[in-house]
Homo-oligomer: A and B are copies of this chain.
Amino acid sequence: MSRAEETDPELVEELLGGKHRALARAITKIENRSPGYREIVSALHRHTGNAEVIGITGSPGAGKSTLVDKLARAYRDAGHTVGVIAVDPSSPFTGGAVLGDRIRMASNIGDMDVFFRSMSARGTLGGLSTATADAVKALDAFGKDKIIIETVGAGQNEVDIVRTADTVTVLVQPGSGDDVQMLKAGILEIGDVFVVNKADMDGAARTVSELEEMIHMREDPRANLNVGHHGADAFSGDDRGGEPHGSVGDSDSIGGSDADDEERGDGGWTPKVVETVATSGEGIDDLVGVLAEHRAYLERSGRLEAKARTRYAEEIRQLVRSDAAALLERELDRRGGVEALAEAVRERETDPYAVAAEIVGPLEACVEGDR
């Protein structure tokens, strides 16, 4: 049987059997939402749950690619297998930089035990965080020990993507004004580990102490009393602060803030700041150590399970919503299309509430009758 005729069960089998080409094809189907991708992800799900998933985010130029490269190499040297998903939500097409990354990654490591894959918004508009989560499942089921999700920390989309990871690592470039940008995006609030990369640059020590101060304020809201606007704003989400907050995103976001706040209680996790020079490899061992510490904390505290639950709840909501949207679009078409319905409304033959009742009503009746 030629590759084109290969059925999905065989693809799943080959992936589980350790064939990298099957893994690559599965992720392509996932990225493009090709027919059969759901069955693949469904079939893979029960083989997942063994990988450590690490998210790495930061501004362009902060050195994410180099850091991910060195981190992957360190894991590989320690005998672990690694999968990397580099996600660029802003570009609808895979750009040159990512292509360059792919070449770099391949040449540096030289074996498929570091599997590198870039994903863009091309095939997956509007559902990039779902597609990322699905690709992570493919890598997890394949048997990768460490999975790294790399994305630019620029907005809510990116926050959603990086939150599909168990441990969120935020890269900060000294003196770059990154802190302000990331405060805006709500990224500092979700960081478990902060990496001041290019720690040999001027201003690195100041950036480290600023981050530590912010973490301190997050830990102890009484410290907020003496700080200016930025600090107070950024960490108003602290669970002991008393006030509800919404800066990370709406309540539908993966890993909702309420759950995250738990880990900041007594005996919780205090975010760590690590200094690295990714180009020389300096500090990478420290980072590996801190990531392992956070993982141990997650397992010990039960937070790993809680995070998974929150994540799966969000996956369910997203899928239900998008499936229902597709169904409704077909129903609108079946009734002549939304344009014709709008024209009937304009002619005062009907009205929008009557149309909505006509479309959603039968679904409700059907569900009620089912009971």
Please give the residue numbers on chain A whose beta carbons come within 8 Å of chain B beta carbons, in ascending order.
38-39, 41-42, 45-46, 48-49, 305, 308-313, 315-317, 319-321, 323-325, 327-328, 330-332, 334, 338-339, 341-343, 345-346, 348, 351-357, 359-360, 362-364, 366-367, 370-371
Contacts and interface: CB of A to CB of B under 8 A. Distances in A.
Nearest to A37: B353
B352 A362 contact: no
Given A324-B328, A342-B312, A42 B360 contact: no
Judged by DSSP, the binding face of A is helix
Contacts of A331: 367
A338 B251 CA distance: 14
A341 B309 CA distance: 9
Contacts of A321: 325, 328
Contacts of A309: 339, 342-343, 346
Contact of A346 (B39, B312, B360): B312
Interface centre among A327, A330, A331, A360 (most CB of B within 10 A): A360
B353 A42 contact: yes
A328 B320 contact: yes
Contacts of A356: 316, 319-320, 323
A325 B363 CA distance: 12
Given A46-B348, A353-B319, A360 B324 contact: yes
A334 B48 CA distance: 28
B364 A366 contact: no
